[in-house]
């Protein structure tokens, strides 16, 4: 039996699952995700760093997360897991983020 077949089959299923998740959850295609990723030069829209988080210690580095407005569903860009987690704690409240900036500048 060819050892390459199972790997290719797993990768094909993974890509199919990713396409479906992007379309269902965010309303974008994998092609659009890749366009945004290219526009951002492959880095987070906030910190300008590449993703470094691993969901599975034996697996590859995760993809940048799709950041979207929770009210409108509009995609804003791609974020690393750290920035995505950080801004999620502020519930899209720009006033609260501004207060946090003031606090950090003290």
The per-residue pLDDT for range 34-81, each reduced to its tens digit, is 999 999 999 999 999 988 776 666 667 778 999 998 888 899 999 998
The alpha carbon of residue 22 and the mean position of all alpha carbons in its chain are separated, in whole angstroms, by 10
Report if pTM > 0.75. yes
CATH architecture of 4-105: 3-Layer(aba) Sandwich (3.40)
Neighbours of 77 (CB within 10 A): 17
The per-residue pLDDT for range 17-36, each reduced to its tens digit, is 889 989 999 999 999 999 99
Q: In this structure, are residues 5 and 13 in contact, taking their beta carbons and an 8 Å threshold?
A: no
Q: Report the distance separating Cα 5 and Cα 9, nearest Å.
A: 6
- pLDDT of 100 higher than 70: yes
Q: Report the distance separating Cα 56 and Cα 68, nearest Å.
A: 24
């Amino acid at each position: 039996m060819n050892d390459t077949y199972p790997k290719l089959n797993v990768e094909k299923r993974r890509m199919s699952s990713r396409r479906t998740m992007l379309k269902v959850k965010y309303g974008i295609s994998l092609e659009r995700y890749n366009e945004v990723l290219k526009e951002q030069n492959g880095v987070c829209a906030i910190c300008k760093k590449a993703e470094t988080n691993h969901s599975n210690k034996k697996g590859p580095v995760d993809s940048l997360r799709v950041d979207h407005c929770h009210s409108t569903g509009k995609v804003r860009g791609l974020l690393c897991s750290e920035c995505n987690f950080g801004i999620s704690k502020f519930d899209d409240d720009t006033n609260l983020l501004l207060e946090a900036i003031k606090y950090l500048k003290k």
